Amino acid sequence: RKEVEQDPGPFNVPEGATVAFNCTYSNSASQSFFWYRQDCRKEPKLLMSVYSSGNEDGRFTAQLNRASQYISLLIRDSKLSDSATYLCVVTPFNTGFQKLVFGTGTRLLVSP
């Protein structure tokens, strides 16, 4: 079983739509959680961290469900510029040196 699993998509949505991605992780002791965004042929960049209480940044909302071992990303009012691959990232508990485990990504395509 992969440590971090994501639906690869693509998710095709029209502008203005709300879309949500889930990501599951296998290590129940995982400590930190993030969403990174990767544009086509570009490097990944941190989109947002995911906190236990959930957090929001503009149109983006991230949630963590430790009991079910998944994190989610909700994008409201999708823009064309949101088209990208969204990487779910988890830090296992006892690695000691900030090792990140990346999911393979969920591709989002926002159309006019």
Using rule CB under 8 A, residue 98 touches another protein? yes
Using rule CB under 8 A, residue 102 touches another protein? yes
Least separation in angstroms between residue 102's CB and another protein is 4
Among 105, 107, 108, 110, binds another protein (CB under 8 A): 105
Distances (CA, A) of 33 to 25, 44, 104, 108, 112: 10, 15, 15, 20, 31
CB 110 within 8 A of CB 79: yes
Q: How many Cα atoms within 13 Å fall on the side-chain side of residue 32?
A: 14
Q: Site mask, another protein, residues 45-74, x = CB under 8 A?
A: xx--x-------------------------
Q: How many Cβ atoms sit within 10 Å of the Cβ of residue 75?
A: 22
* Footprint on this chain of another protein (rule: CB under 8 A): 8, 31-32, 34, 42-46, 49, 87, 91, 97-100, 102-105
